[in-house]
Amino acid sequence: MELTTDRLLLRRWREEDRDGFAAMNSDPVVMEHFVSVLSRAESDALLDRIEAGFARDGFGLWALEERSSASLMGMTGIQRVPFCAPFTPAVEVGWRLRASAWGGGYATEAASAAVAFGFDTAGLEEIVAMTTPSNSRSIAVMERLGMQRDRDADFDHPRIPAGHPLRRHILYRVQAGVHSQPRT
Ligand SMILES: CC(C)(COP(=O)(O)OP(=O)(O)OC[C@H]1O[C@@H](n2cnc3c(N)ncnc32)[C@H](O)[C@@H]1OP(=O)(O)O)[C@@H](O)C(=O)NCCC(=O)NCCS
């Protein structure tokens, strides 16, 4: 399953994407709000897990390609939250773009298509998004998508060690029928 928007193609991953994916995942600017950058092996393993998720669920974090240049800009999509928390089971929308692709509205454009797929094709009733309170760029995407913060749902990320400054996370939600075209 591929999704297209005015400027973007959301497609399955190819072997030749691994270099670009690893470059993005090793960039400290891109990974500022994560516990660490990814090694090449960690990046390859993540790509393998993403592709396994597509095979299992029929959706996942798509490779994001700029249609005009066919260049890989990052990933955007929906996936089952891969850990237990008070709000799971749930499907989350997520995004990670190479730094040179920030500031053009691409993440919001791609995420809007992914959310629409989740509601209209996958039949989901709700999609969540999560991040650290410090990740203002990601929070801005959530708000442009019309997602609402659930202030009662702040949580400690179970995969981040106790005491780590990035452990506390905030949760946004959007329900089917509420999602509309993003505000730009
Ligand atoms: C989070 C992330 C995807 C946001 O990317 P982004 O480019 O800021 O987000 P958008 O696609 O919504 O683009 C919005 C920006 O593009 C601008 N823009 C330019 N042209 C635009 C257009 N045609 N349409 C819409 N917005 C446009 C907007 O004005 C806005 O600019 P601003 O940041 O100065 O306010 C990116 O910062 C990233 O990959 N971060 C690292 C990974 C990460 O933290 N992921 C989230 C983990 S929870």
Ligand 1 centroid vs 25 CA: distance in angstroms? 17
Residue 179 has pLDDT above 80, yes or no: no
Burial (Cβ within 10 Å: 0-12, 13-18, ≥19) of residue 61:
buried
What sections of the chain are H helices per DSSP?
A: 18-25, 40-57, 106-120, 136-144
The ligand 1 atom nearest the CA atom of 106: 11
Res 44 pLDDT > 80: yes
pTM of the model: 0.96
Atom of ligand 1 nearest to the CA of 129: 48
Atom of ligand 1 nearest to the CA of 76: 3
Whole-number pLDDT of residue 180: 62
**Tokens describing residue 30:** 């891109």
Measuring CA to CA, which residue among 78, 72, 100, 99 is closest to residue 15? 72
Question: Can you say how many angstroms the Cα of residue 19 is from the centroid of all Cα atoms in its chain?
Answer: 19
Name residues contacting ligand 1 (CB within 6 A).
30, 33, 95-97, 102-108, 131, 135, 137-138, 141, 144, 184
- Average pLDDT in the chain: 96
The rounded Å distance from CA 61 to ligand 1 centre is 17
